Amino acid sequence: MLERLLKRKASKTENAPSGRDPLTYSSASYTPPSNRVSAKLAKKLQKDVKRNKDRRQAERKESFAIAKLNFPSRGFSLDGAIVEVSQFGLTFRPASHYLECRKDAAIQIEFEDIRKNGIIRSSRFDGYGIQLLDKLTHSELELILSADETDIFSEAS
């Protein structure tokens, strides 16, 4: 049994990666290719997070405001809700439609008396990521954020 272990150890040192001295190479410092790939991927993801950390101009806040998304060039609109909002963008979730890929489509968002133009920057499972061309004022932002605090069913009774 001891001979088998010594043979395994000898074969590992003979198969050491190029550029390393087989005498100083140990199996403890060797990482299998799959671990090297996942470590490389983890490093890339960390760099990407650091690089895009300041990508948003303003913090998005969760909300639930019933709104309408208009597509002026196509002449139709979608009912839904604003589920995240900031001064420079928002996430719109259509009420009863499948999410289609509508990246770079020009839109207009309507909420009560507020009408803002924007561009769909992403189509995600949770809604459309929209960049607003005209920044929301502080009062408009507060109005949208306060919409989820009001009870929409109290108006029906």
**Residue pLDDT, tens place only, 79-115:** 999 999 998 999 999 987 677 888 899 999 999 999 9
**Residue pLDDT, tens place only, 141-152:** 999 998 866 555
Of the chain, the percentage scoring pLDDT greater than 90 comes to: 36
pLDDT band at 41 (very low <50, low <70, confident <90, very high): confident
Number of domains the chain contains: 2
Instruction: Give bridge partners of residue 69 from the DSSP assignment.
Output: 78, 109
SS3 content of the chain, % helix, strand, coil (to 5): 25, 30, 40
Higher pLDDT, 135 or 29: 135
Residue ranges in 15-151 assigned as alpha helix (H): 33-52, 138-147
Domain assignment of residue 152, yes or no:
no
Domain assignment of residue 155, yes or no:
no
Same-domain pairing of 97 and 135: yes
Q: What is the mean pLDDT of residues 39-55?
A: 66
* Domain containing residue 16: 2-52
Same-domain pairing of 96 and 136: yes
- Nearest Cα to Cα of residue 11 among 22, 20, 1: 22
Domain assignment of residue 35, yes or no:
yes
pTM passes above 0.75: no
Please, what is the end-to-end C-alpha distance for the chain in angstroms?
84
